[in-house]
Structure 1
Amino acid sequence: MPAPSHVATAPTAVRPPAANAAFDYQLGGPYPPPDTVRAVSRDRTAKPAPGLYNICYVNAFQAQPDDTGTWKDHHPELLLRDERGHPVIDQDWDEPLLDISTAAKRAALMDIIGPWFDGCAKAGYDAVEPDNLDSYERSHGRLTAQHAAAFAELLTRRAHQRQLAVAQKNTTDLLPRRHSIGFDFAVVEECAHYQECGDFADAYANRVFAIEYEKKDFAAACRAWGKRLSLTLRDRDVRPAGSAGHVDQRC
């Protein structure tokens, strides 16, 4: 029986990662991964790592701090605004939220972000990691989970058209919608800290790359989930190897 029309299905060429593959989270800059690593996540501006499963990081729901000027100058109407007309900011990372509140704005955003996904595919990545799916939680009520799901559906459709698998990034709130959105696996931060590892493991048949930033959380995760999930301890700034403060451990 064919899938219902509302379900986003991936073509057979899409290749999700293997469960429990050793993972390196290289968002702060690319570097040669350790020999045991089988999967790497890098920023979309970096080249993939030869011979590994490569995940292309795209900040799809917020503006990168160094790109804020570009958005303000060229796409000011696509930044979420407060009652005074000022951009709504994710204070933790100083990132303006993108306005995904209407179908028209979501379509306009896809004209910008869709080509980024195309670039990931052209570069040779296997998957994309659209970050800040949970930005609605920082929108002061201006965005909803439904808005996030609707935009995520557009993102997964574009990625699957380019034979890219798609990671759900964080937020257990949208796990019940994972099939209709079209997610293939998960990249999650601090699932041990928030006691969410089991939810993601069950939802994605252990195809979960989990990153912890505190040693005690990493140790707890390894004890509970080390045989099922790919677990990594990183410094919060995900600094490249060789730089001061770099932390990179696996179970």
Structure 2
Amino acid sequence: MTPAHRSRAAQSRAERPAAALARVVAVATTGALLALGLAACAADRPATAPPESASVTAAESEPPAPTTAPASIGVALPPAGAAPDYQLGGAYPPAEGVGIVARDRRDPPADGIYSICYVNGFQTQPGELADWPETALLQRGGASVVDPEWPDEILLDTSTPEQRSEILDRVTPWITGCAADGYHAVEFDNLDSYTRSHGALTLEDNLALAAAFVEVAHGAGLAVGQKNAAEDTTALREQAGFDFAVTEECAAFRECGTYAAAYGPHVIDIEYTEDSDRTFAELCAQADAPASMVHRDRDLTRPGDPSHVFELCGAR
């Protein structure tokens, strides 16, 4: 994973349109999938079982969920309160005591540790543009629409059932590949790409595709993580069926409570303190700070790099 996949939190907060914050979603998961005209993709669950401490289901471990949220689907949720590491900049042996590791889909899962597979489902990956047909890319005024903060990423066009189907066809092998490799969960990034589309896309467009991604992942035996997009949490949880959250800087931006209201203790937070006027220890001390919280350098470097930062909250 290149450094292009460091935090998007500050950028997304600076550019969110006011309308997106007030939008009410009326799309149901079933309707979204019918619109796509796709059947759920089933695959064998990974042979590697999650650690015993992580073998819980939504029904066993979460507080009462909204009535429109999916019932227990038997997937293994991230172990509540376990120490996380975020290794999108490249895989390395986790520190002692780490119980959750997130890695790019092109890296193997961490051996014997609950592992989350990163998938960029709504924008192109740096270096992978050639893998996408032009019809899947969002066009405006004859040019591809790029993420203003990450100009090597082009927004995918989620605006029609046909284009969502094309994207799903491309991403499904990534999801099922994560399961086959032994990952326990998948996180989908750039759920809020519609806020960068200059009005060409809507939350409903992205929600329909997200619901399809979730259906495929659940069919493959993977739990599914919402990546950022705090303002859309209720819709993503209730309408698309996400199981937990992976957040960047929810403590710095005082958004952790939003995620916890939907996912209870299953919130994993990565903090980059250069964006905050508070130290990591101060962020850890916030009343609503998630128990699973890590301080990383923004480039997500490996140990040995002069920029490498890895720090967990102390005893609370």
State the TM-score, normalizing by the size of structure 2: 0.73
Secondary structure (helix, strand or coil) at the match of 2:247 reads: strand
Tell me the residue number matched to 2:19: none
Q: Distance in 1 between matches of 2:155 and 2:255?
A: 25
Q: Distance in 1 between matches of 2:307 and 2:131?
A: 31
Secondary structure (helix, strand or coil) at the match of 2:98 reads: coil
Closer, same or farther: CA 217–156 of 1 in aligned 2, 3 Å? farther
Tell whether the 8 Å contact from 2:283 to 2:289 is kept in structure 1 after alignment.
no
Q: Quote how far apart the aligned CAs of 1:228 are.
A: 4.2
Letter of the 1:157 partner, please give it. E
Deviations 1:9-62 (A, max 9, x none): 366431111221100000000000001100000000000011100000001110
Q: Quote how far apart the aligned CAs of 1:110 are.
A: 0.7
Matched, 1:224 2:286: yes
Tell me the residue number matched to 2:11: none
Matched, 1:61 2:122: yes
Q: Quote how far apart the aligned CAs of 1:127 are.
A: 0.2
Tell me the residue number matched to 1:151: 209
Select 1:133's aligned residue among 174, 191, 201: 191
Aligned length in residues: 244
**Aligned counterparts, 1:45-56, within 5 A:** 45-56=106-117
Tell me the residue number matched to 2:218: 160
Letter of the 2:161 partner, please give it. A
Long gaps (5+) in structure 2:
1-28, 32-67
Deviations 1:187-217 (A, max 9, x none): 0111122210111122111210101111626
Q: Quote how far apart the aligned CAs of 1:222 are.
A: 0.1
Q: Distance in 2 between matches of 1:196 and 1:226?
A: 9
Q: Distance in 2 between matches of 1:227 and 1:137?
A: 26
Tell whether the 8 Å contact from 1:56 to 1:129 is kept in structure 2 after alignment.
yes
Tell me the residue number matched to 1:86: 143
Tell me the residue number matched to 2:158: 100
Q: Distance in 1 between matches of 2:228 and 2:74?
A: 25
Q: Quote how far apart the aligned CAs of 1:121 are.
A: 0.3
Long gaps (5+) in structure 1:
none
Tell whether the 8 Å contact from 1:193 to 1:217 is kept in structure 2 after alignment.
no
**Aligned counterparts, 1:136-215, within 5 A:** 136-177=194-235, 178-214=237-273
Q: Quote how far apart the aligned CAs of 1:167 are.
A: 0.3
Deviations 1:104-134 (A, max 9, x none): 1111111100110010000000000111111
Q: CA RMSD in A?
A: 1.8
Which region of structure 1 is more displaced relative to structure 2, 49-58 or 222-231? 222-231
Q: Distance in 2 between matches of 1:156 and 1:229?
A: 25
